[in-house]
Structure 1
Amino acid sequence: MSRKKVLLDTDIGGDIDDALCLAYLLCQPACELVGITTVGGEVEKRAMVADAICRAAGRSIPVYAGADRQLLPSPLYPKPAGAARLSGWEHEAAFAKYQAADFMRRTIREHPHEISLLAVGHLTNIATLFLVDPEIPSLIKELNIMSGVFSEELEAELEMPMANWNAWLDPHACAIVYNADVPLIRTFGLNVTTKLVLRKEQADGWFETRLMKAVEDFGSPWLAKHDMTLHDPLAAACLFEPQLCEYQGGTVEVELMDERRLGSMTFHPSSGGRCEIAMAVNRDAFFEHYYAMVSGGKDEGSRG
């Protein structure tokens, strides 16, 4: 079976959905996970968390720490609370920050038009990559991004624009990525991902393998205060099962001028656009698919 080459860019170590996303990719038999890059505040520790989860699955995946701060100066410096659990898991500790863009550039140039890029954190690493090598966007097969809201009803309810975390934290990076010449950008916003909330007690049988026990452990600081919302796993699953969502084509505009709306993303529907946003998700089909992937493998991660 031909497998899809995937590069994951993640701010793993906080919200458990990043770890759930990584577990899915490790268990998905159609996925060749060629590398992981980390972004956003103590990136070395985030790389350690990613490496530890891979090792829990019996896998050795290249992991590179990326941008520690946003493109423009910012007082925000998010830290990975889940890193407090590192002492309980085997992991590599010798990670140097700001290596992600170089790794992604080499990998994409070695496999032109073959790499599916999955971005589930803020887009500083991806924007840096596109600025360093402007030809790279055209050499990517596809780019799936978890970002945006795309719902006036949600925008009225949520604390905006901070609720749109991945765009708001580095809006200039987000604008660079959405203006790049990528053949296909699929975006999964809160308008669909907020349909995928699950309380931990509802996740019966999810955390039984060694891999998923690691995910649970690193996500425990998050789970102590929050339910699980599977934002990032949806973006990952739709690389392989795009029919889980319905899409609309068009363009995405990122707000950079109005400080009150900084990072807000506006979708403009149009025919022939290279951007698609998810408009609806089949919740039952998604959860059935996700559970089948992460619960069906052996402890040593032999599914992929």
Structure 2
Amino acid sequence: MAARKVWLDTDIGGDIDDALCLAYLLNQPHCELIGISTVGGEAGKRAMVADAICKAAGQNIPVYAGADNPLMPTDIYPTPDGAAKLPNWPHDTGFRPNQAVDAMRAAIRRHPHEISLLAVGHLTNVALLFRLDPEIPRLLKELYIMSGVFSEELEAGPDMPMANWNAWMDAHACAIVYGTQVPVHRTFGLNVTTRLVLGRHDNPGLFAAKVMQAVEDFGSPWLERHVMTFHDPLAAACLFEPELCEYERGSIGVDYTRDETLGKMTFRASGAGTLEIAAAVDRERFFEHYFAMTGRKP
């Protein structure tokens, strides 16, 4: 398999799954990680976390701080709890704000039809990119996104719509991205990712490698209150092992007008178009693959 050029757009520094995703990409031998952009409150600190994990893996990957705030005004400003662990790990500090979109645009134009854009945070950076340069979506190789629910049972849960964080946090950006045509578009929602749950100590040795030690350290504030759900790593793994999931083709509409359903993503199956959602996942095979890539044999 030839190396795949990947750009990761992430809100790393909170939920540990972003760090688990980055560790996978850094260990995937067929991944050429050409850039990382951060999104969300204190995007500069999030860039430091990403840089520290890259350095723990012995790699120097270009990292760019992106949008701190969503497109529309809001009083919600999430901060990266994991950044408290930055003194424990070497990292660069000179991340200028709002550099991500220009860097993404330059990379995609430098490598037309070659870059897989993997977006695992809310979609502010991607929406700004698509609005700034409307040719960019056609110049991507593919767009993989972790977002959405696509389950009536989960949609009825008490944590909705906020639990659909990547869409809820910036529903307008989400609507822009899902209203834009790209050559290949796959979305991984909670209907499949919530099957990929592990406790911190369920797999002894998971955090043995140095890069995984950094992942655990930066994720420790999250792990004090939560288990690990491998939302983002699934989207990353399917770039290289698409058969880990089954897919359904159709279209997605995004609600950006009603508070009670803000960010709700509605899938309509049609069998046409370039957009697919993951409809099922092989849990055992996913974890075998993930552990193999990150240094622990299952």
Task: Tell me the TM-score normalised to structure 2 length.
Answer: 0.98
1:200 alignment partner, SS class: coil
Where does residue 60 of structure 2 map in the other structure? 60
CA displacement 1:128-175 (0-9 Å, x = unmatched): 000000000000000000000000011112411111000000000000
Deviating beyond 6 angstroms after TM superposition, the runs of 4 or more aligned structure 1 residues are: none
1:165 maps to amino acid: W
Where does residue 287 of structure 1 map in the other structure? 287
1:201 alignment partner, SS class: coil
Relative to structure 2, which stretch is displaced further, 198-207 or 31-40? Answer: 198-207
Show structure 2 runs of 5+ residues with no match.
Answer: none
Deviation at 1:296, TM superposition (A): 5.4
Where does residue 143 of structure 2 map in the other structure? 143
CA contact (8 A) 2:206 2:296 kept: no
Q: Tell me how far apart the structure 2 counterparts of residues 39 and 158 of structure 1 sit (CA, whole Å).
A: 26
Show structure 1 runs of 5+ residues with no match.
Answer: 298-304
2:66 maps to amino acid: G
Q: Tell me how far apart the structure 1 counterparts of residues 286 and 154 of structure 2 sit (CA, whole Å).
A: 22
Q: Tell me how far apart the structure 2 counterparts of residues 91 and 261 of structure 1 sit (CA, whole Å).
A: 39
Where does residue 127 of structure 2 map in the other structure? 127
Residue 10 (structure 2) pairs with residue 10 (structure 1): yes
Residue 50 (structure 2) pairs with residue 50 (structure 1): yes
Where does residue 301 of structure 1 map in the other structure? none
2:243 alignment partner, SS class: helix
Q: Tell me how far apart the structure 1 counterparts of residues 204 and 283 of structure 2 sit (CA, whole Å).
A: 17
Where does residue 107 of structure 1 map in the other structure? 107
Relative to structure 2, which stretch is displaced further, 231-240 or 288-297? Answer: 288-297
Aligned-residue identity in percent = 67
Where does residue 155 of structure 1 map in the other structure? 155
Residue 90 (structure 2) pairs with residue 82 (structure 1): no
Structure 1 segment 1-304 matched on structure 2, within 5 A: 2-295=2-295
2:156 alignment partner, SS class: helix
Deviation at 1:258, TM superposition (A): 2.0
CA displacement 1:43-68 (0-9 Å, x = unmatched): 00000000000000000000000000
Relative to structure 2, which stretch is displaced further, 210-219 or 250-259? Answer: 250-259
1:182 maps to amino acid: V
2:70 alignment partner, SS class: coil
Q: Work out the number of aligned pairs and report it.
A: 297
Q: Tell me how far apart the structure 2 counterparts of residues 68 and 98 of structure 1 sit (CA, whole Å).
A: 8
1:60 alignment partner, SS class: coil
Q: Tell me how far apart the structure 2 counterparts of residues 48 and 114 of structure 1 sit (CA, whole Å).
A: 27
CA displacement 1:86-125 (0-9 Å, x = unmatched): 0010000000111100000000000000000000000000
